[in-house]
Every structure is written in C-alpha cells, then in structure tokens.
Amino acid sequence: MITLYSPLHEHHAPAFEFFRGQRVPCFESPARAGFVLNELKARGHAIRTPTTDSHDVLPQIHSPRYLAFLESAWRQWLALDPANAAMQPFPSVWPVRSLRSDREPVNFTGKLGLYSMDNGSPMDGGTWAAAKAGADAAASAAMLLSGGERAVFCATRPPGHHAGVDFMGGYCFLNNAAIAAQTLRNQGCTRVAVLDVDYHHGNGTQSIFYQRADVLFVSLHGDPRTEYPFYLGHADETGEGEGAGFNLNLPLAAGTPSGDWFTALDAACARIAQHQADALVVSLGLDTFEGDPISTFHLQSGDFSRLGERLKKLGLPTVLVMEGGYAALELGVNVVNVLEGFEGA
C-alpha cells in the first residue's frame, strides 16, 4: 500500500490546549505522525510525498471566506501585536442561536469565533501549511486511485473530520476525507462512500455531504449524548433532500467492548455494499484503542488488524486518511496493523 507523508505537518505544533478546564500539552502533536512514520519504516513500508495541489477542490468543500481566513489567520494575529508570536489565539465568543453568522466581523476575535466550532483547535504559525499539506495528500491519494492504485494511506495531521464547510473544530481545519471524496467524484466516480471509524463523530463530514446522494456517509462513534462533539451524530440523522437515506450513524455507548464495535462495523459495511460505491474513503481514527487518553472504547492493537481485514473485504479502491488517536506511543503500531491487515486479507 502506498503511504503519503509530508514533513510540513511538523510546522503545526501548538504548545497547549484546554482539557476539562485545565491548560495541558496538546494531545494532537507532531509526535503522533512521528511514531506512525517510524513504525511504517520499521516494517518496510515505502513513503511518498504528495504531488497533487488541492487548491481547486478546496472551494468545493469549504467556503471561500473560511479558506481566506484560515490562510491569513496567523498574519492577522501578528498584525494585532508582534508579541502575539509567542501566544496562541483562542476564540471566546461564538454566533450561537439568534446571533448572526452571515456578517464577518472586522475584529480578529470575532472572526475566530465565527469560524470556530469550539476552542479545541489551537493554532500557530504553521497551521495553514500543515493543514494544506494534509489536504494535498488526500487529493493525491484520490488521484492515485483514479490512476489504478487499489489503496493509499495518508499519514497526515492535523486531522480533518470535524471541520465543516466554514468552521474548524476538534483539532481539525480542512476536511481531508471530504477532499478525497470530492476529488474521486471529480475524477469520474459515480458513487463514493465515506466510512468514519474515529471514536468521535465526524460532524464536519456529515454536514458537508448531508444533502447529497452521491457520497454516502457512515459513522460508528461514541454516543453524542455523552461524547464530543455532542450536537451531531445521532441515529435519527439520515440525510436531507437528495441526501435522504445517505447518512448512517451508529452511535455506541461509552465503554463499548470490541465485539460490539465490530458488530456495528459489519452493519456499516453492509450499508456501504448496498450503496454500490466506486470507491471508499476511510476516516481512520485510532482513538478507539483501549489506552486512548480521551476516549473509552476497548479495542486492542490486534483488533486493528481485524479492522483492516474487514475493510479489504469490501473490495473497493480505498483511501485511508488518519484522523484521531492520542495514545501516541501505540499509534504507529495500531495504524500499521490496519494497513497490514488490509494488505494481507
């Protein structure tokens, strides 16, 4: 399996985030991709650099004003005060309920809140470069599939599945899975399926495709009544308009054991097979691991080999995009177990 990796991810390295009201080192750190890269090399996997520029597909997924803000956000932050180079911006106000979101404020704090789902996406001077490199990898993977490859893995960060049309959130800035899916559509795939196996619901991906029938979104994740992102991911969300019936959520209770998780995966795969997709995009979150510090499922490292085997049985050209997974020391083993399970099936 081809693996795409860009060292530009290292430039996104915020120092801290807020977790349960406390200032803590970022769970989503450059070390995550480093452990994955080391394990890939140790097991003899070839690494390539992305070659496709995602510039043309980005506006098909994200709004122009959001992209313009994201690309210029750090420059705007420094323009307020050069001393901000040593600080991280966080939103403090959001346009909820009766507040307006159609007008972009001039004030930077107002803009940041407008384009943020939460305060869980710390930024620094390299955020845009890293996020854009991840988007380029997703587009490159889709192009490789259109050229005849059967499977490509994007060893990228930051993750993307919480990013919506015009907002960031949950460590995510650009929605890599959606970019891969749209690129596949642009290259002639009639139907694409996106399977999200991250512990947290891919609210951004769902919202992007919610009114479309050409891209099926299927997700198994922690029940949003108790788990982030809380406000999307319920079983009764099945799509709207042309997309009615093309969204399937399989929420699972906190503490779900691996056996029940794989039962849900079988249901997800059955719906994907029914969709008769031309290609599959997998939002490969590894935070379902039992040792993950911010999740509560109980998959063990060996279970990820089984996950890869099940994905291969779908028989589809497949892009796998790395999402969450914050037990960093074990992340490389868990990721490569998925890839080798897929290859060996």
Catalytic residue ranges: 162
CA 332/CA 121 separation, integer angstroms: 23
CA 189/CA 187 separation, integer angstroms: 6
Give 288's contacts (C-beta < 8 A, 6+ positions apart).
197, 198, 199, 261, 295, 297, 299
Residue 214, token pair as written in the block = 């050409």
Which residue shows structure tokens 């849900």? 264
Beta strands at 247-252 and 279-284: parallel, antiparallel or unpaired: unpaired
Which residue shows structure tokens 């749209």? 182
Closest CA to 163 of 204, 117, 120: 204
| Strand stretches in the chain, DSSP E | 2-4, 16-19, 22-25, 47-48, 151-154, 192-196, 215-222, 247-252, 279-284, 318-322
